[in-house]
Structure 1
Amino acid sequence: MGREADGVSAEMLEAADRRVCLPMYGFNDSYNLSVATAMVLHHLFLCCPEARGDLPPERRRALRAEWYSRLARTDAQRAQFLARLDDPPPPFADVRRPDEHRTAWVPPKIARKEQEQAASLAEQRQALREDGEAGGA
């Protein structure tokens, strides 16, 4: 992989066994270097699973312990994660917080205003319905 600004150096090109082209579709002009690297590595691991390497079990466990501790937001969550050190979830399993914690935070003052506006609109709708029913009777 080369730099985003000017690509791969001449020495790297000479040492390379093969050049790879990533096709682009749509309106993009180029890929971000990290995106391009991820795409190449993903394809490499699909074509050649043995290229993934193999960490010794004790190193895998140590890395898991470190990352599970970083991912946890509470002591209870940390305990839950660390209980899975020897029985990790399958790849791409969602170990994040539950969905109710993924919503945007709204300051209480703004939330109160939104509730008041919603109540006012509901009252206005009800009044319009009542006026419509009274006019039609």
Structure 2
Amino acid sequence: MKKFFAMTLLSLVLMCARADAAELSAADSAFAFETIVRTLHETNCTPLKIWYSGTALDDAQNVAYMNQLADSRGFDHNFTACMVFHSDFRSPPDPHDGKVTAWNYDTVYTDYTWYFGLYDGQWILMTRGY
């Protein structure tokens, strides 16, 4: 399992480097990858694929979206960047796993989107979904 995640992380970093090495660092992509994997595991979902959208971190529309989300949640944040990732994952196969979930059981979800905002040098997962 560790080898799978190490190879997946390496693939993710390589995809990110090809997308735009000047903007997205390996540390940024590793943070996003770890956050996505951890969040999926919290609901017993299995990550299948994670990739960077390739959208510029300073894309005005995405940064504005992060700031709108912050305002709607009462955050006193002014985001300066936004990184967008996508993932494919499988939901838990057992409906009796003891966890309440919004997923359909044993289903592959594709192109699920994750938005991270950059505030004061730290990335924050602001929203995810379709």
TM over 0.5: no
- Which structure carries more strand by proportion? 2
Q: TM-score, normalization: structure 1?
A: 0.24
Structure with max Cα Rg: 1
- Which structure carries more helix by proportion? 1
